[in-house]
Structure 1
Amino acid sequence: MAIHNRVISTWICKQLGFKKNKAITGSVTLLQRFGSGLNLNTHFHTLALDGCYTIEDDKKVFHPLPMPQTEDIEKILATIINRVLLLLEKRGLLTKDEEQASLTLDHETSAMDRLQSSSIVYKIAYGPRAGQKVFELKALDLDQKQGSKNLLANSQGFSLHAGTRCAAHERKRLEFLCRYITRPAIAEERLSQRPDGKIVLRLKTPYRDRTTHLVFTPLELLQRLAALVPRPRIHLARFHGIFAPHAKHRKAIVPHPEADADSQACSKATDDPPKPKRMTWARLLARVFNIDVETCSVCSHKYRIIAAILERGAIEKILTHLGLPTIQPPIALARPPPLFAHADQSTPLPT
């Protein structure tokens, strides 16, 4: 990710005639680990400024970048590929010869390693079908139109796309883009269960071989989902350049509360309702998970807070009157999943 961000930011500064130490760019990168078929497919989604800032004497000036061409994207990708391969070779993860390069990986040491390596190649890690690919459903009469994307480069298994742009005033479009790159691995409406108990995943976009659905057993689906879980203490959202948390000039770019107050005053002058600075937890639950905690399921009216009861004695009396327990249930000790507690890498696990 550091190579990806450094190459792009350096290219932007050079295109605008600035040295890297005289200008600063900004970007927010989301690390996504999933593909459309719930396979492990690590890739980056980056929201980058289409320009750079110069700040002198506390005066900030934004220099917009002209629209890049496909040739520019290809050059950027070539630089990224070269540096990534050199880094892998330096770390001993890549064996390079005159004809081709191949990865040099250590022997798998855990069940998670096996889950992830199988997910990358669309195969099943454990169970009676271990080593086989997931069942696919294809449409014979599917008329696919493979349109060419602008500002897209592909080379050596790498790809770089820069064809999505939001103007400064397109706040709704920017919000939609932010929600897209932070979306979860799967939408619930794309999952269904057959009478035989197997799970069917409908692909958002059919594969080139006309595959429209994937069929999993419950164990196979859990294996795919487990492979997508990142390691502990890994941040999936990264802020670079002027958007970095400790960037020197971040306060000069990020709006201040005074600016928010001015914008709300302007909205009042135009009879538009002012927008709150942050959403409430209730609105976030409804927006993200479609859970409405503000509406009664019986009468469909809005809930309102009558009182906040904090005294232990009063709480116990109310719970006792309602027939509810007054003591919290004990928390069981953490344990590994039973299927993987004594997993043997050489033999598949029983179902």
Structure 2
Amino acid sequence: MHSQVRDGVYVRYADNKIHFIRVVPPSPEEIKTITIKIAKKIYRYLESRMLAMESDSLLEKEPLLSKCHRASIRYLRALGEQAGKPLLRLISPEHIKEENDDPTMMGFNLHASIAIEATDRAGLERTLRYMGRPPLSSERLKRAPDGQNLLLTLKSPWRNGTTTILLTPFELIERLVALFPYPRKNLIRYHVFFAPNAELREEIVLGLVSHQDHDSKKLCRPNFAKLMARVFDIDVLFCPDVTPRCN
């Protein structure tokens, strides 16, 4: 999970204007404390979900999908004769890490060492594109030498030395199915001042613009064609059979 947060807080002063106060980066000890808090909250949530498993709507309505989800987080096979057995992994001994300074706390690892300056718009876009990248890269997926199975190379080796996962085509489909989000569930969520219904969202996002100045919104929202060109690198106004370019 990735989260883009401000490195400070917003405060409204006596002049009725909102000011941004930057704070110092968290220390390693603070990172550990935050990681433990996150882990405990997630554990409590999962425990409550386990207790309510019998009334889980997904388990009742889509038992096959629910089985794929449970197997996915455990790196197990979900279906077939090998259901419940772990996926085959290729381990390279030279990548096994045995350092004692493991930042993982209760199975969770919090990475918070990247900061982007407010004026670095290119760096911000690059980071957001990384956060929104697809979960599977076709460049790291190839056929195994036997011609039947697939090899998925990990971007970074795991601590136990795992560099590649061996999958059958059916097992790959199982993993992909588990990645589909629930209906009506957003994959990108905004929180605190950037939440959709936050009282101060408009002032902060639009640069301290008053709530009455609705025309300013048009300056911040590019049209559909520009969005398609920016995100997918597709010029929807270009047609090879039509000259000149559509406008």
TM-score (norm 2): 0.75
CA distance in 1 between partners of 2:175 and 2:7 (Å): 36
In the alignment, structure 1 residue 66 sits paired with structure 2 residue 10:
no
The answer as to whether partners of 1:118 and 1:125 remain within 8 angstroms in 2 is yes
Greater helix fraction, Structure 1 or Structure 2: 2
Q: 2:77 aligns with which of 118, 124, 130?
A: 124
Moved more, 187-196 or 276-285: 276-285
Look up the match of 1:171: 121
Number of aligned residue pairs: give it: 230
Give how far 1:114 is off: 1.2
- For residue 86 of structure 2, what is the aligned residue in structure 1? 133
Which residue of structure 2 aligns with residue 255 of structure 1?
206
Say if 2:172 is the partner of 1:221.
Answer: yes
Inter-partner Cα distance in structure 2 for 1:67 and 1:191 = 37
Partner of 1:114: 67
Deviation at 1:53, TM superposition (A): 0.7
- Cα 1:146–1:186 change in 2 (3 A) is farther
Q: 8 Å contact 1:73–1:153 — kept in the other structure?
A: no
User: Quick check: 1:153–1:161 contact (8 Å CA) kept in 2?
Assistant: no
Compared with structure 1, are the counterparts of its residues 121 and 219 closer, same or farther at alpha carbon in structure 2 (3 Å cutoff)? same
The match for 1:75 is: 33
Q: CA deviation at 1:225?
A: 0.6
Corresponding residue of 1:55? 12
Q: CA separation in 1, counterparts of 2:3 and 2:12?
A: 24
Contact 1:70/1:153, CA 8 A, preserved across alignment: no
2:246 to 288, 299, 305: 305
- How far apart are 1:213 and its partner, in Å? 1.9
Residues in 2 aligned to 1:47 and 1:78: alpha-carbon distance in whole angstroms:
20
Structure 1 gap segments, 5+ residues each: 1-43, 95-103, 259-275, 307-351
Identify the structure with bigger relative contact order (alpha carbons < 8 Å, sequence gap 6+): 1
Please provide the CA RMSD for this pair.
Answer: 3.7
SS in 2 for 1:154: coil
Please identify which structure carries the higher strand content: 1
Distance, in Å, in 2 between the alignment partners of 1:302 and 1:286 is 22
Q: Whose Rg is larger?
A: 1
Give, in angstroms, the shift of residue 255 of structure 1: 2.7
Q: Secondary structure at the match of 1:238?
A: coil
Checking the alignment, whether the CA contact within 8 Å between 2:95 and 2:157 is kept in structure 1 is: no
Q: Tell me the amino acid that sits aligned with residue 245 of structure 1.
A: P
Residue 35 of structure 2 aligns with an amino acid whose one-letter code is: L
Instruction: From the superposition, tell whether residues 254 and 146 of structure 1 become closer, same or farther in structure 2 (CA, over 3 Å).
Output: farther
Instruction: Provide the rounded CA distance (Å) in 1 between the counterparts of 2:19 and 2:100.
Output: 36
Q: Distance in 1 between matches of 2:162 and 2:46?
A: 34
Q: 1:77 to 1:215 in 2, by over 3 A?
A: closer
Change (3 A) 1:145 1:173: farther
| Partner-residue secondary structure (3-state), 2:3 | strand
Show CA shifts across 1:238-281 (max 9, x none).
1111111122122211136x9xxxxxxxxxxxxxxxxx963754
Alignment partner of 1:209 is 2:160? yes
Say which of 168, 183, 191 aligns to 1:232. 183
Tell me how far apart the structure 2 counterparts of residues 131 and 138 of structure 1 sit (CA, whole Å): 21
1:182 maps to 2:132: yes
Taking a change above 3 Å as real, the CA distance of residues 126 and 87 of structure 1, as seen in their structure-2 partners, is closer
Give the Cα–Cα distance (whole angstroms) in 1 for the partners of residues 115 and 100 of structure 2. Answer: 17
The 1-side partners of 2:239 and 2:150 are apart by: 32
TM alignment of 1:336-347, pairs within 5 A:
none
